[in-house]
Amino acid sequence: MPAAFTTVPDVLLALVQLGQTVLPAVHVYDGAPESETDEDEFLSVGFSRDEDDASVDGESVDAGNRTSAETYAVHCILSVATGDSGPAAVADRRARCAQLFGAYASAIRADPSLGGVLVAGARADVASFAWIYGPTQTAGTYAEVEFDIAVQASYLGMP
């Protein structure tokens, strides 16, 4: 196996597969959702609604002796919506979003190597997050959490 310069592609795939495993009722996208109105519940791995954000932000540092280290953040969105606009709908969607986010975050915390994709002390952690919720503009209710998965990987072979 050739030396890897970055873990980004493998980590993105592992995060998508983890979402598919841990959140089987949720549509998991590798990148941007096809249409945010088609799915009531979705997880987008490697996606930010901010046009100035990349899917993954980070840096690589030459550690010498033909090795490097990298740190980066994978931007993700977990969204749940309903056509219901009743008084309890916001609280219901917020609770559902918290349940799904908790399951996904717990799975990452339980295995920060992402199934062995990250080795030699490298790890993935749930980092920053932001909650957004309330009525939609089209007679419904939604709740979502935008969050980052922080990755630290060291001692990657240089090409």
**Positive or negative, the Cα torsion across 71, 56, 79, 134?**
positive
State the average pLDDT for the chain: 89
How large is the average pLDDT for residues 58-81? 89
Q: What is the pLDDT of residues 131-149, one digit of tens each?
A: 999 888 778 999 999 999 9
Tens digit of each residue's pLDDT (9 = 90 or more) over 89-125: 999 999 999 999 999 999 999 999 999 999 878 999 9
- Please give the share of the chain, as a percent, with pLDDT higher than 70: 92
Per-residue pLDDT tens for 36-65? 555 689 999 999 888 778 899 999 888 777
Q: What is the DSSP letter of 106?
A: H
Instruction: Give the pLDDT confidence score for residue 104 in this predicted structure.
Output: 98
* 117 contacts 10 by C-beta, under 8 angstroms: yes
What are the structure tokens assigned to 133, written together?
Answer: 């919720």
C-alpha distances (whole Å) from 138 to each of 16, 58, 84, 88, 92 are: 29, 36, 10, 17, 18
Helix boundaries (H) for 32-122: 89-110
**18 against 48, higher pLDDT:** 18
pTM over 0.75: yes
3-state secondary structure of 20: helix
**pLDDT of the residue at 2:** 45
| pLDDT given at position 113 | 96
Q: Residues 43, 19: contact at Cβ < 8 Å?
A: yes
pLDDT-based confidence at residue 1 (cuts at 50, 70, 90):
very low
Residues in Cβ contact with 57 at an 8 Å cutoff, skipping those fewer than 6 apart: 72, 73, 75
Please, what are the domains in the chain? Answer: 8-157 (3.30.70.1700)
